[in-house]
């Protein structure tokens, strides 16, 4: 499989989980910052899929790594996904058909896990948890924005 085929297969595997859980699922155009727009209870979530088909050895263990950075179009630079651009990442390890859903929160430039961890991961539970975390973060952000600033008043 070439890199495009691997990526597409990971997107379709992810879509199968999303379609079973969300009320609506929309595939986005290639130039979009995310792959799927999913809707649950009238709340939208932007999902970005990252797929790996290989492992690497670290301390005598097999590990899987996903790059989270994205190449900027027509430039020789890369950048991370902003929290406003992507809500949830779907990390796919294609040889085992495994998907790990995580909120876009403090992930850095790469995400890596031991293969043993990936093997035991439950995709549906990780999707539910990621949604819960995103909802909590959104509530906190809304609470912070709606509270008036406290000013010191001199008498």
Write the CATH number for 112.
3.40.1350.10
* 118 part of a folded domain: yes
* 152 part of a folded domain: no
pLDDT at residue 62, as a whole number: 96
Span 25-52, mean pLDDT? 95
pLDDT at residue 76, as a whole number: 74
* 153 part of a folded domain: no
Span 78-82, mean pLDDT? 83
pLDDT at residue 73 above 50? Answer: yes
pTM (predicted TM-score): 0.88
| Ramachandran region, residue 131 (left: φ > 0; alpha: ψ -120 to 50; beta: rest) | alpha
* 73 part of a folded domain: yes
46 and 87 Cβ atoms separated by less than 8 Å? yes
* 155 part of a folded domain: no
60: domain range? 3-146
pLDDT at residue 19 above 70? Answer: yes
Tally of domains in the chain: 1
pLDDT digits (tens, 9 = 90+) for 126-153: 999 999 999 999 998 887 766 555 555 5
* 17 part of a folded domain: yes
pLDDT at residue 119, as a whole number: 95
pLDDT at residue 152, as a whole number: 53
Q: How many CA atoms lie within 13 A of 100 on its CB side?
A: 21
Among 72, 35, 88, 57, which Cα is nearest to 80's?
72
63 DSSP 8-state letter: E
pLDDT digits (tens, 9 = 90+) for 113-129: 999 999 999 999 999 99
């Amino acid at each position: 499989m070439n890199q495009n085929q691997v990526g597409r297969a990971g997107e379709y595997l992810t879509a199968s989980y999303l379609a079973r859980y969300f009320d609506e699922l929309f595939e986005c155009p290639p130039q979009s910052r995310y792959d799927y727009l999913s809707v649950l209870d009238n709340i939208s979530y932007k999902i970005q899929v990252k797929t790996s088909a290989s492992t690497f050895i670290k301390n005598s263990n097999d590990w899987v790594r996903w790059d989270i950075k994205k190449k900027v179009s027509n430039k020789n630079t890369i950048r991370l996904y902003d929290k406003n651009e992507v809500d949830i990442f779907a990390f796919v390890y294609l040889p085992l058909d495994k998907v790990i859903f995580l909120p876009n929160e403090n992930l850095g430039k790469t995400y890596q896990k031991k293969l043993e961890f990936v093997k035991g991961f439950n995709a549906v539970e990780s999707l539910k948890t990621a949604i819960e975390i995103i909802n909590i973060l959104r509530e906190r952000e809304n609470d912070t924005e709606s509270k008036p600033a406290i000013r010191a008043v001199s008498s």
